[in-house]
Amino acid sequence: MGSVIDPAFSTNSILSERLRYLVEAGDGEAAPQLSADVEFEVFAMPGANRKAKAPVDVVVAVNEINDQHGTGPLVKRVFGDRENLFSIRSQNDWGDHDFGNFSVCIPQHDRPRAECFRRALTALGNRKVNQILCVPFHSDELITSIAIRDGCQADLCMWLMDDQNIVVDVVPDDLMFEFLEKSSLRLFTHGELRDAYERKYGLKSYVLPAIVPHRYVATDLVPPPEDMTKGALIGSFWDQNWFARTCDALAGSGQRIDWYGNDKSPWLRFPPEEMERAGISALGLYPEERLVRQLRKYPYVVVPVGTFDSKETNTGVARLSLPGRILFAVASAHTPMLLIGSGETCGARFVKNFDLGEVVPYSSAAVAGAIERLTEPGNQMRIRKNAAAIAERLSDKEIGVWLRESIRLGEPADRRFEDLFAYETEAALKPLEIEPYRRTR
């Protein structure tokens, strides 16, 4: 993939002293013996600026950045215009990593804070850091970002896509608060998620949705297709139960469904006999340009969401996530949405607020009825006009400039996304009974 960067940490006396001070002042741990011996390698891509003091922008994420899962394309979209990118991830799950001029996998695995700081700063060596974008999921990404922010005195921007602290307690409160407090700009993919964290931690936050490449955004109305007998399902399943319920619900619809998503998940199973029973044809992942052309051929797009009942096993995702594939289909194809699951999910509220389709429970009768309504000509045109009206507001046009300036300002450079997601979220947050955070140390 490239050449290994020689760690410069052991010879950088200024950085060593800075780390020693930060660790001792931060939580009282004894400063470790600083060494260049590490368990990871930093890889440089062809054309990377290898000068020891060349400034970099840093992206910290949980997995490889590639097109096999939703986070990858989004990170490329908002931060891919930087000239010298240093990409750090916590684990490998999705295969090749194809982002950044430099890349490294640094699993922290609950190591002492001092060791986590040492590992993160060792990877960077003498490099000056301009800005940091963290897309966190586990504690590893938070502690790595804090180390770089404190050690390099760089502005930190958080972009949270999935909850791991409000509904579920994967990330400890004290660490989450420190991370949020040290972030110059706190961004969330939608209003419910932002408002939940604002309510708990009392820190002003903003929205950056799962934006869509401007070249794919349809500003002129995309007309309905002639063929109304086949629908599309896009994206990947988060939960085995969602897949099983989706198959049960679609089995009685009498329509074929083309699935554009990752049907080779390392965690879930997709038995061919179940997909055949449901009328689902797995077509795999398509490049976005080709996917847009395909989506414009369908009268509706199916998106499974959570239910909040006793069978729900992924409550964090079910309660506070907004599937980015909804925004992609709406902005690029104006295709009416068929959400199957609870009407209290974030996706359901987005669809209902802008009148973009139907939301029904996991029931074959309910799904069949929704498909009949969605394929009615008058409903097709009404929904498509509603989608066209908001499509451009989901565009990534000049998003790199917007993000760079927003991080500098500590607030959005304009209100394009704040205004779009200004609808009421109180009903979503009420069942969560969010208590304000109180420091324990």
Q: What is the CATH number of the domain that holds 173?
A: 3.40.50
What pLDDT score was predicted for residue 228? 93
pLDDT band with cut points at 50, 70 and 90 for residue 204: very high
Same domain for 179 and 293, yes or no, is no
pLDDT band with cut points at 50, 70 and 90 for residue 49: confident
Q: Which domain holds residue 307?
A: 214-394
Residue 91 lies in a domain: yes
Residue 100 lies in a domain: yes
What pLDDT score was predicted for residue 277? 95
Residue 410 lies in a domain: no
Residue 76 lies in a domain: yes
Last residue in a domain, options 188, 207, 226? 207
């998003």: which residue's tokens? 399
Mean residue pLDDT across the chain: 86
Same domain for 275 and 373, yes or no, is yes
Hey, what are 93's tokens? 């799950």
pLDDT band with cut points at 50, 70 and 90 for residue 78: confident
Same domain for 68 and 182, yes or no, is yes
Question: d(Cα 101, Cα 86) in Å, to the nearest integer?
Answer: 6
Which range among 75-89, 138-152, 186-200 shows the weakest confidence by mean pLDDT? Answer: 75-89
Same domain for 39 and 154, yes or no, is yes
Same domain for 240 and 115, yes or no, is no
| Strand pairing report for 43-44 and 3-4 | antiparallel
Of the candidates 190, 186, 169, the residue with the CA atom closest to the CA atom of residue 345: 190
Residue 400 lies in a domain: no
Hey, what are 54's tokens? 């060349």
Same domain for 184 and 99, yes or no, is yes
Same domain for 74 and 192, yes or no, is yes
pLDDT band with cut points at 50, 70 and 90 for residue 310: low
Of the candidates 241, 264, 237, 247, the residue with the CA atom closest to the CA atom of residue 321: 237
What pLDDT score was predicted for residue 70? 58
Residue 424 lies in a domain: no
Q: What is the pLDDT of residues 245-265, one digit of tens each?
A: 999 999 978 889 999 988 887
Residue 431 lies in a domain: no
Same domain for 102 and 241, yes or no, is no
Per the CB < 8 A criterion, the answer to whether 156 and 132 are in contact is yes
Question: d(Cα 375, Cα 370) in Å, to the nearest integer?
Answer: 9
What pLDDT score was predicted for residue 259? 96
Last residue in a domain, options 187, 207, 227? 207
> Residue 238's domain is classified under what CATH number?
3.40.50.2000
pLDDT band with cut points at 50, 70 and 90 for residue 1: very low
Per the CB < 8 A criterion, the answer to whether 120 and 88 are in contact is yes
Same domain for 153 and 197, yes or no, is yes
First and final CA of the chain: distance in angstroms? 43
Q: What is the pLDDT of residues 327-368, one digit of tens each?
A: 999 999 999 999 999 999 999 999 999 999 999 999 999 999
Give the global pTM: 0.88
Residue 73 lies in a domain: yes
pLDDT at 2 > cutoff 60: no
Same domain for 130 and 233, yes or no, is no
Task: State the total domains in the chain.
Answer: 2
Tally of CB atoms within 10 A around 418: 15
Same domain for 168 and 257, yes or no, is no
Same domain for 262 and 378, yes or no, is yes
What mean pLDDT do residues 368-376 have?
A: 97
What pLDDT score was predicted for residue 74? 87
Last residue in a domain, options 207, 222, 239? 207
pLDDT at 35 > cutoff 50: no
Per the CB < 8 A criterion, the answer to whether 360 and 245 are in contact is no
Q: Helix, strand or coil for residue 188?
A: strand
What pLDDT score was predicted for residue 264? 81
Question: d(Cα 97, Cα 108) in Å, to the nearest integer?
Answer: 19
Q: In DSSP terms, which residues pair with 258 in a beta bridge?
A: 232, 281
